[in-house]
Amino acid sequence: MSHLSRSPTDGYPTETSNLQAATESTLIDHIPDTDDTSAATLQKNAHIQFLIRNLVQGFPSKYTSQDASQPWLMFWTVQGFSVLGVALDPTNKQKIIDTVMAWQHPDGGFGGGPGQAAHLLPTYASVCTLAIVGRPGPGGGWDQINREKMYKYFMSLKQPDGSFLVTHHAEVDVRGIYCLIAVAYLLDLLTPELVEGTPSFIASCQTYEGGFSSASQPYYSLSLNPTTPAPTPTQPSVLDSPRPPLGEAHGGYTFCSLASWVMLQPLTPSSEPKPEINYKRLLRWLSNMQGSEVEIGGFKGRTNKLVDGCYSWWVGGSFGLLEAVGVGGHGDPQGLHDDGPASAQDTENWDDVDDSLFNRKALQEYILYAGQHPAGGLRDKPPKTPDAYHTLYCLAGLSSAQHRVLPSPTRRNVLLDAWESTRGMFVTLPRSRDPLDSLRKSVFADALSWSEEEGTSKFVGGNGNRLNGTHPLFNLTMTHTEAIMGHFYKQKVPTRKKAKAGST
């Protein structure tokens, strides 16, 4: 593979370029010879065994560092199964539900383990786990989630600049905001009050590079705005500027910011001052995160850092989110598709079925060649060992590079037509005058309108590598998303046209 050009160092080596060069040397060794087709096989059985071992036998003591992330260990494992097309038996499902419910805090939200304080991150992981294994009714988990207390808990974390603490006495960061909004979407908890000011906060985290940072620092004006009565007389107002991002543009924070931004669209004020993010700069940054051929097209998380399998999801998955707000689009201005869709095996015509803005083929290759550990499980990069986190995000990233899942206006209309006004949690007014009804309706229809574009899936290594599609906003399968949202919004979700490819 010596024909691949290495990253230029301009005769000016530094620690960054030395590390980069060493990584490229390792990665090159993982690019298979052209006649070696087995290297492109997703070792599904080995990965399933890895997940089963974690679930049933548990985690070795080095995972003690994840003791406050037990819901994440569980979510990574069960969502890994979902993406791989493995359904759990009722006995194990029940055990998982019982485990998750031990993490719910009596004052609302879920903690990282029994007796731990509630925290936004494990709350997301717990609710998503319940979306996968839970069900309505006694012992099913869904109806044992205390939504009233969860909403109060969310509100107790809210800051004057529209952000949220991840837990009491802790930091503000956009991961927490993403987790909160995703949970509010799934459980029908979203209100204008909850996320007032949040779009502006997210917008303020965009850095000059185009990606997003972990948080921004608010500055407050000393005098109160006399035209808008503040909820409490002492509440200061946040200045639009300066409001500097803390930390550089980063793949994980960018996904969380962008997904939050997309979910907040029905609530983002259309009046001035309307918060804005610079899509063009964001797209450029996302695009620059894809490593070159010598890095097998994996994604990195920051400028001048190394490729890492988990960014396959955080950065690779962000392209679809950007398309959802109309950037990139899948228009066909030059009639490129006159020949009709190419067949899945026909790699010659790859480009003709690929409307996405990043190199889907190369990303799949990175995960297959470099992301898989020979003994099962997936990883950051060779020669690292696999872990539960990288196993899920490599698989989810691979899935998002295989399938194009985007909001479908047709599907959205079907959902809107089928909507039946129901009482949300906060309603005291008669249904017809419920101001939240239209918000809940559009949240529901927006979330479930995401659909796989027909004839656009592509599987490097053949159809045997097919993974289930996963919802770009939540990282749950469509089936699981529909089931839990249907339950909490009290809607019957209209059936979809059966997808032609079956799951494994």
Partner 1 sequence: MPTIHTDPPTLYAERSDWADVTPQAQYENVNPLAPIFYTEEYKDATDYFRAIVKSGEMSERVLELTENIIRQNPAHYTAWQYRYKTLLTIKAPLDVELRLMDELAVKHLKTYQVWHHRRLLLTETRKPVPELAFIARSLKADEKNYHTWSYRQWLLAYFNDDELWDGELEFVERMLKGDIRNNSAWHHRFFIVFQSGTRKGDEDRDEVVRRELAYVKQSISQAPNNASAWNYLRGVLDHSHTPYSTLQLFVQLYTVPHSPGETAVEVIDLENPPPSKDSQLPCPAAIEFLADIYELEGGNGIPKATELWKSLANEHDTIRKKYWEYRIREALQSTGP
Active site (catalytic) residues? 250, 302, 305, 308, 310-311, 380, 387, 390
Q: Which run of H or of E encompasses 245?
A: strand 245-246
Closest by CA to 375, choosing from 76, 36, 47, is 47
Which amino acid is it at 338? D
Give whichever of 288 and 422 is closer to partner 1, judged by the CB atom: 288
Closest by CA to 394, choosing from 449, 484, 317, is 317
416 binds, among Zn ion, partner 1, none (CB under 5 to 8 A by kind): none
Tell me the H-state helices in 187-278: 198-204, 251-263
- Count residues near Zn ion (CB under 5 A): 3
- The tokens for 126 are 């717990």
The least distance separating Zn ion from the CB of residue 416, rounded to whole angstroms, comes to: 39
For partner 1, the binding residue among 228, 334, 432, 495 (CB under 8 A) is 334
Q: Which run of H or of E encompasses 294?
A: none
SS3 16: helix
In the numeric block, the tokens 């060649």 are attached to 369
The least distance separating partner 1 from the CB of residue 329, rounded to whole angstroms, comes to: 9
Give whichever of 96 and 177 is closer to partner 1, judged by the CB atom: 96
User: CA-CA distance, 375 to 456, in Å (whole number)?
Assistant: 32
For partner 1, the binding residue among 132, 195, 215, 394 (CB under 8 A) is 215
Give whichever of 117 and 425 is closer to partner 1, judged by the CB atom: 117
225 binds, among partner 1, Zn ion, none (CB under 5 to 8 A by kind): none
User: CA-CA distance, 423 to 437, in Å (whole number)?
Assistant: 8
What is the contact mask toward partner 1 in residues 238 to 277, using x (rule: CB under 8 A)? ----x-xxxxxxx---------------------------
Closest by CA to 205, choosing from 244, 161, 258, is 244
Closest by CA to 496, choosing from 443, 451, 465, is 451
173 binds Zn ion (CB under 5 A): no
User: CA-CA distance, 431 to 330, in Å (whole number)?
Assistant: 39
400 binds partner 1 (CB under 8 A): no
- Count residues near partner 1 (CB under 8 A): 87
Give whichever of 193 and 276 is closer to partner 1, judged by the CB atom: 276
Q: Is 7 exposed, middle or buried (0-12, 13-18, 19+ CB in 10 A)?
A: middle
What is the contact mask toward partner 1 in residues 339 to 378, using x (rule: CB under 8 A)? ---------------x-xxxx--x----------------
453 binds partner 1 (CB under 8 A): no
Number of C-alpha atoms within 13 angstroms, CB side, residue 109? 25
Residues between 362 and 401 that touch Zn ion (CB under 5 A)? 380
Give whichever of 317 and 424 is closer to partner 1, judged by the CB atom: 317
What is the contact mask toward Zn ion in residues 281 to 320, using x (rule: CB under 5 A)? ---------------------------x-x----------
